[in-house]
């Protein structure tokens, strides 16, 4: 008489071997890059570009701090809502210009050192992504009948 469990043991062992082999292969295979992510750097490349990238990071932080301080002064002296929106728009534009300047500086460091340059244009989302279709920001006031419009107050 053959027990049903005795037939399952070889099948379970074969499944484990196949599963463990696939797991080992996945660990040795380089992971594909996510959209907008740059190439993986070797340790030697990291050491070579670190001093310059650190210096650029410090400069970028100082520039962004100056932009935020200017924005704070503008907001503090804004006499009305239009001026407030203008301050916020100017700050966003300055931050975006600084981001582009920083990326260009990094691009030059990578090119000088023979490292492939990441394609930052493919990045999606994030804090400073443009509004998606149908959404409204400070520069796009809500139109009547659109989502985001305040609810009417009940009449008493």
Domain assignment of residue 104, yes or no: yes
Report pTM.
0.55
Range of the domain at 81: 43-110
Domain assignment of residue 49, yes or no: yes
Q: Residue 110, by phi and psi: left (phi above 0), alpha (psi -120 to 50) or beta?
A: alpha
* Number of neighbouring beta carbons within 10 Å of residue 110: 20
Q: Can you read off the two tokens belonging to residue 31?
A: 């992971």
Domain assignment of residue 152, yes or no: no
Domain assignment of residue 57, yes or no: yes
Count of domains for the chain? 1
Percent share of the chain, pLDDT over 70: 53
Domain assignment of residue 147, yes or no: no
Higher local confidence (pLDDT), 113 or 14: 113
Domain assignment of residue 105, yes or no: yes
Residue 138: band (very low, low, confident or very high) from pLDDT cuts 50, 70, 90: very low
Q: Is the pLDDT of residue 91 over 90?
A: yes
Phi, psi of 30 (to 5 degrees): -65, 140
Domain assignment of residue 82, yes or no: yes
- Where do we find the tokens 């300055």? 94
Domain assignment of residue 149, yes or no: no
């Amino acid at each position: 008489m053959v027990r049903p469990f005795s037939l399952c043991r070889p099948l379970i062992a074969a499944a484990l071997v196949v599963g463990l082999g696939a797991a080992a292969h996945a660990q040795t295979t380089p992971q594909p890059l996510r959209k907008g992510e740059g190439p993986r750097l070797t340790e030697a490349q990291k050491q070579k570009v670190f001093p310059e990238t650190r210096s650029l990071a410090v400069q970028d932080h100082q520039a962004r701090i100056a932009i935020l301080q200017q924005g704070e002064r503008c907001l503090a002296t804004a006499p009305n809502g239009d001026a407030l929106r203008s301050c916020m728009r100017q700050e966003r534009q300055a931050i975006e210009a600084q981001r582009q300047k920083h990326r260009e500086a990094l691009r030059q460091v990578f090119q000088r050192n023979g490292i492939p340059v990441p394609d930052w244009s493919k990045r999606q989302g994030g804090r400073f992504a443009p509004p998606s279709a149908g959404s409204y920001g400070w520069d796009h006031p809500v139109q009547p009948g659109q989502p985001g419009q305040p609810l009417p107050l009940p009449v008493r």
